Chains A and B, each alone.
Chain A
Amino acid sequence: MNKPTSVNGLSKWLNNIYLKHIKISSLRKKFSGNQPYPYLELNGFLKDLQARKLLAALTKEKFYMKESDLFQFSQTEDIAASKEEALRAFRDFLRSKRFLSFMESLTGFKLKEDTVDLSGTLYKNTDFLLCHDDQLEGRKIAFLLYLSNLEIEDGGSLRLFDKIFKSFKRITPRFNKFVLFEVSKISYHKIEEVVNDKQRIALGGWFYDK
């Protein structure tokens, strides 16, 4: 028997629990119900083998140190330019009709076809990203796929803030956790400074408004 259309082609990448319609429906409610702005954290998002392949490929990428008043961390170029097949395949998957349709089902947003920004980031001891809103023309959803494990005391957690900059959510990096949130004029967030020799490794980027 054929799987429902929205699930077709997703099963190569996504963990089976995220392919069930009832799960998608409950996650959509959770996403839109999260206040003051919608977000989701999805543990064990990809099939474990796929996540491991991505980590292996990402460790072969060249990271460039970036520093300004707002941040200090290392980043790859956009994965579109990567020579690593696994990374390019993941990017192709993220911008595929089937995955964008899946994201639309989760969020209720209409997303721009065939489009995703994707790069790898590496935070080492003393790296940080201060509070900002991510707003840039067309950005609709910010996302992260964590590829390393950190504990609260290591730093590197994502902190979400409300309008008066009170933190309402702290998300600690866990391998294969996918995090997404709506980009808006109030999507204030930061990444805590990493305070020891552990590394925060992730793939992340943005989906765009249709």
Chain B
Amino acid sequence: MSSGVLTKRQQNRLDKGVSGTSKWTLVKRYWVLYVMLILPMAYFVIFRYLPMEYLAMAFKENNIIKPLWEVPWVGLKNFERAFGDRDFWNALRNTFMLNILDIGFGFPAPIILAIILNELVFKRFKRVTQTIAYMPHFLSWVIIYGLAMRLFAPTDGLVNILMNRAGYESISFFDKPNNWVATYVFLGIWQSVGWNTIIYLAAITNINPELYEAAAVDGAGRLRRIWHITLPGIKPTIVVLLILTMGGLIGGGFERPWVLRNPMVYDVATVLPVYVYTKGLLNYQFSLTTAVGMFQSVVGLFFVLGANFFARKVGERGLW
């Protein structure tokens, strides 16, 4: 219903209700919703905000035994130690590289798959395909690594055995840095692409079907409809997800690089989460670990803010 059909008085009442000159009235009206909000809010306060007190460890001596306030301050010493370590910069470079490749190849993949699935005419085939595509999401990286080794190992891997029998040389999927990076990105896409289509498929279903019907009447082909209706229809979703993804540009998960790496590719496979674990936690350098983690969070926040700012600049709604 457009506001054009409302009287001025009706519009004023609506605006008043939405803008909330009487917020207390709204609270009284929707108190059940506010009560339901207590639990998730408590979760965030207890598990997300209160632990932030321990960010102070980044500026303190390495000691997890004394109460935090009794541990002496050391200023930026832990940051200096991290920034003075070339392994840190190597890990930072690798994190950037792998995450940018993940975004470059992995971000569009679920969008493309969602559009393809949406275009499938046979619904049962679509559902089966979706289910199969979701499955890898539920596999741990240890299992995926095991499967990948069985398939791609140089001498015992099925793919290389078949290639050898066909007269081709084996491919070093895991033991040459460049090949390892490609395998890493490929496995990441394979594992997540199906699951990540869900949100895009949901966004596509929100597009008014009448738009497709009108376009078809006007003679638009399938690709035209995708380009002019589907993609613009899910663009806000794409932008929001892209902004959120940017926040993890120097973060990312630990399990995947940890499991997939091997001694021959450490120079490209050691990312910041792995650095934090090996350099920090395994050596009991908890303050160093906190400093690096804090650095990741702050830089990630700047990426999110920057991406949001850019999105709003080009006319998108952004996160807020």
B is bound to A: no
Residues of chain A touching chain B, judged by Cβ–Cβ distance below 8 Å, are none
Residues of chain B touching chain A, judged by Cβ–Cβ distance below 8 Å, are none
